């Protein structure tokens, strides 16, 4: 079998580390480019909303951060499942590397939601299904980070954190479908596969911002994962060679 096409090779930190190192600058550059294009369309070109005036422009931050907060959690739960099932070393590091960025996205989703809610609903916060389940998501991120930080042995920390992630994953569909399942103040989704309720430039601005936040999250999480790999594998030959080589 040709080793070059063997994906399992990248499950080992020694091969994943240099690969991630080469990819990070590209993800960072993509995040900046998509971000600039999204801000240009969203803030300078997109028309006024007929109901919400210019206040709707918060959507260009609010929707991408909300999507990312849910998506990052799903990716972490995926890594947790892989880690618990196959006992792979990399999985726990990937989940840990994603957590702070996921928490940031959940916080920004709530923060921009509050700033949007005040002028449109007249309240910074309401205990409504969508908002409450998103707040629980933020607490899940914080709880995961606290749990992992509290256990000294990294492998045991990964296991405990993984169980927490898998239990908490039920919250994600609750957030997503909350606007359908319950009668809530939060508006339904603006993007639909068949028909969209938004103007073209608004939609493209939002999708570009979402892509930008996606690339940002990958770049930041991979950088964090690389640091974790060095730390955890410091007694292996590849890390020693890496440390001897790099002067960065």
* Interface residue list for another protein (CB under 8 A): 43-48, 53-55, 57-58, 61-62, 65, 100-101, 104, 107-108, 111-112, 115-116, 118-119, 216, 219-220, 223-224, 226-227, 230-231, 234, 239-240, 243-244, 246, 248
Is 71 or 116 the residue whose CB approaches another protein more closely? 116
Is 75 or 82 the residue whose CB approaches another protein more closely? 75
- The sign of the torsion formed by the CA atoms of 14, 20, 22, 25 equals negative
Closest distance to another protein from the beta carbon of 52 (Å): 8
Closest distance to another protein from the beta carbon of 81 (Å): 26
Is 1 or 44 the residue whose CB approaches another protein more closely? 44
Is 39 or 166 the residue whose CB approaches another protein more closely? 39
Is 65 or 178 the residue whose CB approaches another protein more closely? 65
Closest distance to another protein from the beta carbon of 61 (Å): 5
Closest distance to another protein from the beta carbon of 227 (Å): 5
Closest distance to another protein from the beta carbon of 108 (Å): 5
Closest distance to another protein from the beta carbon of 76 (Å): 17
Q: What is the DSSP string of the chain?
A: --GGG-GGGGGSHHHHHHHHHHHHHHHHHHHHHHHHHHHIIIIIISPPBTTTBGGGGGHHHHHHHHHHHHHHHHHHHHHHHHHHHH--HHHHHHHHHHHHHHHHHHHHHHHHHHHHHHHHHS-S----HHHHHHHHHHHHHHHHHHHHHH-SSHHHHHHHHHHHHHHHTTHHHHHHHHHHHS--SS---S--SS--SS-HHHHHHHHHHHHHHHHHHHHHHHHHHHHHHHHHTTTSHHHHHHHHH---
Is 81 or 223 the residue whose CB approaches another protein more closely? 223
């Amino acid at each position: 079998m040709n080793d070059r096409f063997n994906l399992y090779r990248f499950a080992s930190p020694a091969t994943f580390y240099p690969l991630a190192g080469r990819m990070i600058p590209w993800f960072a550059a993509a995040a900046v480019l998509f971000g600039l294009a999204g801000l240009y369309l969203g803030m300078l070109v997109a028309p006024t909303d007929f109901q919400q005036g210019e206040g709707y422009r918060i959507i260009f931050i609010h929707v991408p951060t909300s999507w990312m907060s849910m998506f990052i959690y799903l990716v972490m739960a995926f890594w947790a499942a892989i880690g618990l099932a196959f006992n792979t070393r990399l999985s726990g590091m990937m989940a840990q590397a994603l957590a702070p960025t996921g928490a940031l996205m959940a916080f920004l989703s709530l923060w921009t939601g509050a700033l949007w809610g005040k002028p449109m609903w007249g309240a910074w916060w309401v205990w409504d299904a969508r908002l409450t389940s998103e707040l629980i998501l933020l607490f899940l991120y914080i709880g995961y980070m606290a749990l992992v930080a509290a256990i000294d042995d990294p492998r045991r920390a990964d296991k405990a954190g993984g169980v927490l992630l898998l239990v908490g994953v039920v919250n994600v569909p609750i957030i997503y479908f909350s606007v359908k399942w319950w009668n809530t103040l939060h508006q339904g989704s603006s993007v639909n596969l068949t028909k969209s309720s938004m103007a073209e430039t608004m939609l493209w601005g939002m999708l570009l911002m979402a892509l930008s936040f996606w690339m940002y999250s990958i770049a930041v999480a991979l950088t964090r994962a690389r640091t974790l790999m060095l730390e955890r594998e410091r007694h292996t030959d590849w890390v020693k060679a890496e440390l001897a080589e790099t002067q960065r």
